[in-house]
Amino acid sequence: MRRNRNVSIVVLVAVLAWGVAAIVTGSADLGLSGARAVTPSRISPACLPATLEHSASLAGTGVDVSPAPGTDTANPRTQISFLGASVGNIQHVSVVGSKSGRHEGHVSAYSQGDGASFLPEEPFDPGERVLVRAVIGAGNAARRIAFDFTVDTPYPTANAGPFPNPAAAPADYQSFDTLPGAQAPILSVTVPDRDPAAGDVFTTNGPGPGQYGPLIYTPQGRLVWFDRLSGGLTAENLGVQEYEGRRDLTFWQGKVLSLGFGQGEDVIMSSSYQIVGRVRGGNGLRADLHDFQIAPHDIAYITAYNPIRCNLSSAGGERDGAIIDTAIQEIDMKTGLVRWEWHSLDHVGVGESEYSPPKGMPWDWFHLNSIDPEPGGNVFISARNTWAAYQLEGGSGKILWRLGGSKSSFEMGPGTRTAWQHDGRILPDGEVTLFDDGSNPPVHSQSRAVRIVLDFKTHEARLRFAYTHPAPPLLAASQGNVQTLADGNTVVDYGGVPQISEYAPGGGLLLDAHLPYDMASYRGFRFPWSGRPASPPAVLANLNDTGEETIVHASWNGATEVRSWRVLAGVHAGSLGAQTTVVANAFESSAILPKKYAYVAVQALGAAGQVLGTSRTAPVESYEAALPRSVRAR
C-alpha cells in the first residue's frame, strides 16, 4: 500500500460523508458492532488472484462468458452467461461443481437474441471449483468449449446497519397540508438561474438527516415533486434517461449499508410517475446505488458490491479478513438475465488502492462509483479508492487504459491528477470529465470538476478546465458528479456538501443552490421536464376560526404544467360551482372563500386555461379538526 488511510473523517459544515465514511472511521462510529461475523481463529479463503486480466472471451468462438474463466469471484448463486451466439447455437451445457457435483438447469435466451444464460437449479458451494462444458455453434462450425471458475465465500451483511437517519431541523424542511407527513428539504437558491433552458433541478436527500426520496425543484427553488420513501429506504441518483422511446425518470432505491454501498433496485418511472420498469441485480447480488445506465436494445448497466471472505495477509491485512469486490452487471431489462459481468478483483491489483486494509471490517479497496457505456461497446468506469478511471474493452473486460492512479497509461499533466474522485464520463469529443472530491482525508484544498484532454499519440493527459466554487470554497468528503449540457455549460453537484452549481464554459456561475448543509445529495442534475401525475390533484379545506370562511389548499405532486387553480365549492357534494381562480405560484396554493361551504374540489388549469386534472370532492373540515395538521408552507 502506498498510503495508510485509517484516519478520521474530515467534515465540512457538519456534512455526513457516507460513501466511504465506513472505511475511514471504522466500525464503532457507524453502528457496525456485530457486523464482523468471523472468528479470530479462522483463516479466510484465498481470493486475491495470482494473475490479473482474466478475459471473458472464449478464443475462436466470438462468445464472452460470465463468470470469467479462472475467476475466484463467482457468487454461489451465479448463472452462467454466454454472450455472442444465439440460443440455438449454445448446446450441451454441462456444469459440474467439485463439491456439489453435476448441476441441472435450463438455458434461457436474452431478448436481444445474441446469447443465453444457463440457470442452475441449485446454488454452488462456497469455495468449490466449477467446470463448464458446452458446444458453441452448429454443424461443421460447432466447437466444444470448456472453462472453469471458483465460487467465492460471501461475507454476510445482515448485521451491517444502515446510516443514522435523525429527524431534520424544522428550519430545513417545508410541510404541506395536501401532502400529509412529508417534510421536503428546502432548496435555497443563492445565485439566480441564468440558463432557464437547462430545466429543473433533480436530486435526492440522504443518507443522513431528514426524509428520503427523489426530489425535483424548479431552478427558483420551488418544490415540484417529492416521493417520500419509508421503511428505511433511500433514493439516490435521480435523473432522466431514454427508455422505449420516452424520457423517463430513473433512480435507485434501497438500503444504504454503513459499509458504504447499497442493496436495492433501480427504478424507471414515466412522466405520469408510474413505475414502468425495475432492474434488479442478478447472480446473487443486489443492485448498488452508485450507477444505473440504460443502453440501447433494453440493456442496463448497474453496479453491484460483493463482500467476500478473503485472506488479506499478503496485502498487509488480516488472515481472517474480508474484501469488497465490485462488479458491473449488464442486464437484459426484459428478462432480468445477466448478459455479462465484470469484477474488479479479476483485473486490478489491490496494490493500486490508496486505502490500506482496515481491521475488523471488509476492505473497500476499489469502490466502483460510475459506469459510462460507450457507443462502440467499451465501458468507462471510475474507482474512488484507486484514484483512477479505467477504459474496459467490451466483451473481454480487459483494461485498455488507465487514467490517473499509480499505473496511469497517460503522463498526467499539471492539474489532472484526482483523489477520491467520482463520476467519470467520456464526452462525444473524447474528453473526460470527473468530479474530483479531493477529500476524506483531504488531498486538495477544494473539490472541483475537471475536464481532461487525452492524447493517445503522446500518451499525455492535459487539463482543459477545472470548475471550482467561488467563495466559499467547497470540499466534499464523498459523492458528487459532473453533467455536461448540450450547450457546453457544466452542472456540478458537490455530493457530501449538497450544493448544485451550473457554470458557463469560462467558469461563471449560472445557478447556485443548496440543500440544508447537514444533508447530502449523491448526485444532482438539470433536465427539462414535463410531468403530469396519473393520480388526481390533492385538495383539503377547513373553516376559519369564526366558521364564516372556507380555506382551501391545492397541490399536484409532480405536475409541471399547472398555472392556476379553479376552486369549486358548494353546500352539497353533487352541486359544486366555480368560486374563484388563484395563481399556482408555489407547490401548494391556497384560497380563502368568504362563505361557509360543506364541500370543495379544485381543477388544475394549464397556460391556456384548459383543465389538466380535477381533484376528488372533499368535505370541509371544522377549524378545530384542522388544528393538528402540520404548519402550512408560506
Bridge-partner residues for 436, per DSSP? 448
Mean of the per-residue pLDDT values for the chain?
92
Q: For residues 514-534, give the mean pLDDT.
A: 97
Neighbour-count burial of 355, counting CB atoms closer than 10 A to its CB (0-12 exposed, 13-18 middle, 19+ buried): buried
Nine-digit cell string for 156: 454476510
Nearest 5°: phi and psi at 373?
-65, 135
Identify whether the C-beta of residue 175 lies closer than 8 Å to the C-beta of residue 503.
Answer: no
Bridge-partner residues for 94, per DSSP? 133
Question: How confident is the model at residue 342, as a pLDDT?
Answer: 98
Q: List, for residues 135-153, the tens digit of each pLDDT value.
A: 999 988 899 999 999 999 9
Yes or no: domain 57-150 corresponds to CATH 3.40.50.150: no
Distance (Å, whole) CA 424 – CA 371: 7
Q: Please give the full DSSP string across 359-379, using - where no structure is assigned.
A: SSS-B--S-EEEEEE-TTS-E
Q: Give me the count of residues in the chain.
A: 634
Q: For residues 384-390, give the mean pLDDT.
A: 98
Residue 23 three-state SS: helix
pLDDT band at 339 (very low <50, low <70, confident <90, very high): very high
Nearest 5°: phi and psi at 406?
-80, -10
Least reliable range by pLDDT among 24-33, 266-275, 277-286: 24-33
Distance (Å, whole) CA 329 – CA 535: 34
Distance (Å, whole) CA 491 – CA 511: 9
For residue 625, give the H/E element and its range: helix 623-626
DSSP code of residue 25: H
Q: For residues 48-54, give the mean pLDDT.
A: 88
Which stretches of 494-587 are assigned E, i.e. beta strand?
A: 499-503, 509-514, 525-527, 538-543, 550-555, 564-570, 577-583
Question: How confident is the model at residue 317, as a pLDDT?
Answer: 97
| Max Cα–Cα distance, the chain, nearest Å | 92
Identify whether the C-beta of residue 482 lies closer than 8 Å to the C-beta of residue 425.
Answer: yes
Cα–Cα nearest to 572, from 625, 621, 623, 619: 619
Considering the chain, what percentage of its residues have pLDDT values greater than 90?
A: 89
pLDDT band at 50 (very low <50, low <70, confident <90, very high): confident
Distance (Å, whole) CA 421 – CA 388: 8
Yes or no: domain 538-626 corresponds to CATH 2.60.40.10: yes
First to last CA, the chain: 55
Identify whether the C-beta of residue 381 lies closer than 8 Å to the C-beta of residue 328.
Answer: yes
Distance (Å, whole) CA 194 – CA 492: 15
Identify whether the C-beta of residue 595 lies closer than 8 Å to the C-beta of residue 532.
Answer: no
What are the boundaries of each domain within the chain?
Answer: 57-150, 538-626
Identify whether the C-beta of residue 10 lies closer than 8 Å to the C-beta of residue 475.
Answer: yes
Cβ count near 629 (within 10 Å): 15
Whether residue 185 has pLDDT greater than 60: yes
Nearest 5°: phi and psi at 530?
-125, 115
Question: How confident is the model at residue 19, as a pLDDT?
Answer: 40
DSSP code of residue 126: T
Q: List, for residues 342-383, the tens digit of each pLDDT value.
A: 999 999 999 999 999 999 999 999 999 999 999 999 999 999
Question: How confident is the model at residue 632, as a pLDDT?
Answer: 41
Contacts for 456 with CB less than 8 Å, ≥ 6 apart: none
Distance (Å, whole) CA 207 – CA 57: 39
Cα–Cα distances in angstroms (integers) from residue 389 to residues 53, 179, 414, 544, in the given order: 16, 43, 17, 61
Residue with cell 477544494: 446
Nine-digit cell string for 515: 440543500
One-letter identity of residue 132:
V
Residue 531 three-state SS: coil
Whether residue 221 has pLDDT greater than 50: yes
Burial annotation 435-471 (CB, 10 A radius, 16+ → b, else e) = bbbbbbbbbbebbbbbbbbbeeeeeebbeebebbbee
Residue 215 three-state SS: strand
One-letter identity of residue 439:
S
Question: How confident is the model at residue 628, as a pLDDT?
Answer: 54
Cα–Cα nearest to 516, from 177, 180, 16: 16
Distance (Å, whole) CA 182 – CA 227: 9
Cα–Cα distances in angstroms (integers) from residue 460 to residues 411, 416, 578, in the given order: 5, 10, 69
pTM: 0.93
Q: List, for residues 103-125, the tens digit of each pLDDT value.
A: 999 999 999 999 999 999 999 99
Q: List, for residues 75-98, the tens digit of each pLDDT value.
A: 999 999 999 999 999 999 999 999
Peptide linkage before 357 cis (omega within 30 of 0): no
CATH topology agreement for domains 57-150 and 538-626: yes
Question: How confident is the model at residue 148, as a pLDDT?
Answer: 97
pLDDT band at 37 (very low <50, low <70, confident <90, very high): very low
pLDDT band at 623 (very low <50, low <70, confident <90, very high): confident
Whether residue 560 has pLDDT greater than 80: yes
Least reliable range by pLDDT among 29-43, 501-515, 527-541: 29-43
Q: For residues 263-284, give the mean pLDDT.
A: 98
pLDDT band at 35 (very low <50, low <70, confident <90, very high): very low
Contacts for 190 with CB less than 8 Å, ≥ 6 apart: 512, 513, 514
Distance (Å, whole) CA 365 – CA 22: 12
Cα–Cα nearest to 617, from 629, 600, 596: 600
